[in-house]
Structures are given as structure tokens and as C-alpha cells.
Chains A and B, each alone.
Chain A
Amino acid sequence: MILFAGIPSEPPIALGIEAAERMGVDYAVFNQRRSMHTDLQLQADDAGLRGALWLDEKRWDLTGFSGIYARTIDPASLPENRARRGGVPNALAAARSALINEAFNDWLEVAPGRVVNRPSAMSSNCSKPYQLQLIREHGFHVPPTLVTNDPELLRRFHARHGRVVFKSISSVRSIVTEWGPHGEHRMQAIRNLPTQFQALITGRDVRVHVIGDTLFATEIATDAVDYRYAVRDGLDARMTAVELPSGIAERCVAMTHALGLAFAGIDLKRTPDDRWYCFEVNTSPGYSFFQEQSGQPVADVLVSYLAGR
């Protein structure tokens, strides 16, 4: 029996549910949007750790799940907890929803069985340069990175590397964009907030998904700086399954485990001179985008992993 937690229509969870049905794996769904119809009880004492979840009045023993796939979102962003049509949100319902979410995340930290992923392990990519420091220890090249609020330092960095991109420092999603020959006012804007710049690394993008000890590598052929937005920019992004050199594959699996993750989405780039750069380890990978394009059965392996198969 496995548990999916989050928004069931969200593609990665939807694909997981679909795989579980197809594979005949029993499952339950904790739909965050039905928090008002959810109850949670956790007990920790000398007798051990116990927990139960009531989903629409049906009781589920939390210790009975062989695996949990959680992609929960901040309850404050749920439509039910936001003001609508000039009304005010129900503060009690919002607080209850927030507390259930927090307690459920607490359970994920200590739950027996397989958890994809435990919240503390997911926190390493709350800071991209921090995570780069961890990635470096696993033998990957990392792109030369500068976070600064000083235009002169940026000019020098740009001059040294020729082509430079900028993106968010935190896990807030941003579009990786090339820093072009902008006006001085744009350069001066970085004085307001330190901004992250990286040398643009040319080569082939490879997205790797590691689930337990299983690995899928997908090569993305595109001229876009950020392949996720290639279509928006009128460019192509073709995805094909590829085999990684064994040393690189082993490094990906070892790094995933060292970060405490059961499931990771690793962004690599292979340069023309065969150097492997790692940009980021996504700790809650949106694998559906890659599965749909490449046909790799990521969801099937995820469900098998959660079912303990």
C-alpha cells in the first residue's frame, strides 16, 4: 500500500497514480485540497511511533504504508485558504490546514518505509550556490558562479567568461537567462539585491532521474539557454533516452544517496571536451515533463520503489 500526498491532478502525482493503477498497486491519496475532510493523529511515546490519517472518513494506518510519495504544497497557496471574491479566508480552516501539513511533514521525517522525499533532505536546493558546494564534493564540475551586487565585479566576471547567465539564488523558480549587453541602468540594478551569475557552459543538457538505485538519463537537444522554456522562445527541445558513462552514473546515484534523497532530478551538461558539469539536484523533480517526451517509465519505477518491489 502506498500513499500519494499533494494535489492529485498535478502531473507527477497523476502519473504515479496512473502507474499504480496499471501495475495493480494499492494506494491512497491525501488530497491537500480536501484538508477540511482530512484528520491526522500522531502519537509518540514509550510504546513507539503511531499515526493514522482519515481521508473522507476512511482510516489509514500511517505505519501501514510501504512508501509515501509527497509533493505537498504550502497550504497558504491553496485556493481554499486564500481570499476570493472580496471575501476573507476562513482563518480557522487555514490554520488547521497548515498544522495538518506541518504535522504530516513531521511524520515524513520519521516514517518507517520509503519516503519520496523526506523534507529535511529536500532542503539542500533552497540555496543553489550552497548545493553547488555539496555537488562539488561528488566529483562533478560546477559552473563558475558569482553572486554579487557590484557592477564592476560583474563586468570582470563577464569579461573573463565571455558568456554569462543569471538565475535565482534560492529555489524560487526562475528562467535561466543570458546576461546580454544591457544598458548601464540594468547593470546598476544589481546594487539592489545580490544576484547570481554563472559562466555559460556549452554542451548537451542531460537530465538524470535517480530513484533508489535506478537511473534514467535523458538528453535534451536544443538551442535554448533554458530548455524548459524552449517552446516559449520558438525553439525546439528534443529529448531522447541515453546511457551515461558508468562513472558518471555511479556518481549520480552516490550523490543522491549522500543528500539523503530517494528520488532526485539531476541537471548535467556534457561539454564538447567531455567534461560533466552539474548545475542542480532537484529534490522534488517534475519528472512528468521528461517521461512524456522521452517515453522513459519513470513513474513505473517510482511506484515499484514505493511498493518495496
Chain B
Amino acid sequence: MTFLVLAHPNDGVAVAVAAALARRHGPERVRVRTPDEIVLAPLWEHCVSDDGAGTRLRMHDGGGLGRPAVVLNRLPFIEPHLLHGAAPADREYAWTEMLALLLSALSSLDCPVVNRPSSTGLAGATRRPLSWQRLAAQAGLRTAGLDFTSSIRRFAPAPSYVPALQMSAASVDFERSFSVDRFGWYCEAAAGSRIPVDVVGGRGYGDAPASVLDRCARLAASADVDLLRVELIRPLATADALAFAWADAFPQQLIPAGMAALVAHLEKLAASAAAEAAA
């Protein structure tokens, strides 16, 4: 087995990459492991000592993680229902413990991992809006304006701004609440839809000028991820210039060129690992 794909069964990107790799290299060289198999493995052995760290699993089918040449890590989270066997009072604790174990275990893999886990995200670092925006600006990208307000009545965002994705999972009847006041993130309104750029292995792919693609690649490098979806907009006020709006180290979909690049990148990493092993 050369390619190990860690992913939820309904992860379209992972399924497509695994299928492409299997077509090109044979199904025996590609293995997909799901969070269910990993979390519920009958044997977990994760060791850390002065000599290093290592992980061994035996899953219900008797197999383990093997010794892959490269790993596509698409495990951004685990569903709490996987730990439904725990007593209700212990479920949250069990879930937190399992996430902590997965972070350490994925970090102990001694082969290239795309994306490497981070303490802020199992499938690569997750960042907050202002952090992405600052990194994007440092990478040379123009950035779309972004506001947070705890009350639009008192501190209204600029007139050309529209509500942005709210980061909170807090449950609230916003329709009813908004008749009272509104709070949250607002961003510059865009002309047309968002323009996706996929960065894979240090190169940007998408419908944007080469200079912008290079800056997106720089952004991925500074975020320390191999795979990054960057979303650009054309702000209404300056519709001719592309501006950074958002980035995601765990994209739900890739453009065709990004998908092909991801497959090629994994193949390249595997070939390098094989050459290193042969040497």
C-alpha cells in the first residue's frame, strides 16, 4: 500500500482522489480508512518517549494503517456519535480525549501527510477571519473589507457590507433576533460569485492572473498547508480588482485543475519517498 486516505465516507474530494489513484496505480496501492474504523479500533497503541513517537492500530478487519508512502489527511473532526457507547455524562470527555489522541497520532506518522495536523485543526490549521486576512495581506493579496459588530444599531458596518458567515455554533433564532438588533461579521459585497483558487503543493490553480495565483501559493506556504482553497471576490466598489475573502485548509470541493494537481502531488510525494527508501 502506497497511498493512505483518511476520510469520512461522504468526503467527495477524498473519494475522488482515492478513485483516481486506484485507477492509475491499482486498487491494492490505495487504502481508505474512515473515522469509524480509526476511532473504534479494537487496538490502539500510541507511544511517545525520548526515542520518538509512533502509532499502531488494529481495526475490526484486522488491518492497520500500514506503512504508507504518503497520507491524504481529510479528518477535520470526528462525529460525537462515534462515542455513543460512553455514558451520557462521559461523552463529551471521551470525544475530547479522542480528538487529542488523533492529533498526537496523526502527528507521529513518519511520512508526508497532506495536510499535516495542527493543534488548531486535525486536517491542517484552521484560522479565524482576521488571521486569514492578515496572512493574505502579508502574502501580497488585496483583502476584502471585514467588520465585526456586536450591534448594528450602534455600530453599523459600512453600507456596502453584507452579512458574512457567522463563526459561532451558538443556537439562536436569528430571524426573530434580527428584528431586535443584529450582530456578527460583515464583509464587503461582491460583484458576482466567489472565484475559487486551489493551492496544491506550492502552486495555485484557478481563474485568476498568475500574480494572484502566486500570492495564493504564498498564503498557503505561510499557513503551513499543502492544500488550501482560497476564495476571491470582486468587491462592488472596485470590481476590477480581485480581493481575498476566505481560505479553507479543508475544502469541500476542488476545481478540476486542483483535483488533478492534488493527485499529482500525492504521486510526487510517494515517488520521492520511494527514491529515498531505495537510496
Q: Which of B52, B131, B154 contacts A110 (CB 8 A)?
A: B131
A99 touches B168 (CB 8 A): yes
Chain A residues lying within 8 Å of B85, measured Cβ to Cβ, are 192
B236 at the interface (CB under 8 A from A): no
B183 touches A99 (CB 8 A): yes
Give chain A interface residues in 27-75, CB to chain B under 8 Å.
38-46, 49, 52
A169 touches B48 (CB 8 A): no
A49 touches B172 (CB 8 A): no
Per-position contact with A for B102-145: 1 when CB-CB < 8 Å, else 0?
Answer: 01100110000000000110000101111101100000001101
Closest B residue by C-beta to A136: B50
A120 touches B120 (CB 8 A): yes
Closest B residue by C-beta to A103: B148
- Interface residue total, chain B, C-beta cutoff 8 A: 61
Closest A residue by C-beta to B96: A170
> Separation in Å of the A200 CB from the closest CB of chain B?
14
Per-position contact with A for B163-201: 1 when CB-CB < 8 Å, else 0?
Answer: 000111011110001001001110010000000000000
> Separation in Å of the A226 CB from the closest CB of chain B?
18
> Separation in Å of the A257 CB from the closest CB of chain B?
17
Name the prevailing secondary structure of the B interface residues.
Answer: mixed
Rounded to whole angstroms, the CA-CA distance of A76 and B177 in the bound complex is 19
Per-position contact with A for B38-60: 1 when CB-CB < 8 Å, else 0?
Answer: 00011111111110110000000
Per-position contact with B for A105-119: 1 when CB-CB < 8 Å, else 0?
Answer: 111011000000000
B16 at the interface (CB under 8 A from A): no
B173 touches A106 (CB 8 A): no
B99 at the interface (CB under 8 A from A): yes
Give chain B interface residues in 145-162, CB to chain A under 8 Å.
145-151, 154-155
A149 touches B44 (CB 8 A): yes
Chain A residues lying within 8 Å of B96, measured Cβ to Cβ, are 170, 172
B107 touches A41 (CB 8 A): no
A46 touches B145 (CB 8 A): yes
Chain A residues lying within 8 Å of B154, measured Cβ to Cβ, are 39
Closest B residue by C-beta to A93: B172
Chain B residues lying within 8 Å of A141, measured Cβ to Cβ, are 50
Beyond A96-B150, A133-B108, whether A42 also contacts B130 by CB under 8 A is yes
Rounded to whole angstroms, the CA-CA distance of A142 and B49 in the bound complex is 6
Per-position contact with B for A76-91: 1 when CB-CB < 8 Å, else 0?
Answer: 1000000000000001
Chain B residues lying within 8 Å of A123, measured Cβ to Cβ, are 119-120
Beyond A42-B147, A95-B168, whether A146 also contacts B47 by CB under 8 A is yes
Chain B residues lying within 8 Å of A145, measured Cβ to Cβ, are 47-49
Rounded to whole angstroms, the CA-CA distance of A153 and B183 in the bound complex is 52
A147 touches B155 (CB 8 A): no
Q: Which of A95, A102, A107, A169 contacts B100 (CB 8 A)?
A: A169
Which of A124-132, A204-212, A262-270, A292-300 binds B?
A124-132
B94 at the interface (CB under 8 A from A): yes
Closest B residue by C-beta to A51: B148
> Separation in Å of the A237 CB from the closest CB of chain B?
27
B97 at the interface (CB under 8 A from A): yes
A95 touches B177 (CB 8 A): yes
Beyond A44-B130, A46-B145, A129-B101, whether A39 also contacts B151 by CB under 8 A is yes
B98 at the interface (CB under 8 A from A): yes
Closest B residue by C-beta to A124: B119
B208 at the interface (CB under 8 A from A): no
Rounded to whole angstroms, the CA-CA distance of A68 and B128 in the bound complex is 18
Chain A residues lying within 8 Å of B147, measured Cβ to Cβ, are 41-44
* A/B interface sample: 25 pairs, CB < 8 A: A38-B150, A40-B149, A42-B149, A44-B130, A103-B148, A106-B130, A120-B127, A127-B103, A128-B104, A129-B101, A132-B48, A133-B48, A133-B107, A142-B49, A144-B49, A146-B46, A147-B46, A149-B41, A170-B100, A172-B93, A192-B85, A192-B86, A193-B97, A194-B44, A194-B97
Contacts A120-B131, A127-B101, A129-B53 known; list 12 others, CB within 8 Å: A43-B145, A99-B170, A106-B129, A127-B100, A128-B104, A130-B100, A130-B103, A136-B48, A144-B48, A144-B49, A145-B48, A146-B45
- A-B residue pairs, 10 tightest by C-beta: A170-B100, A127-B100, A45-B145, A95-B172, A129-B104, A123-B119, A130-B104, A106-B128, A95-B170, A98-B170
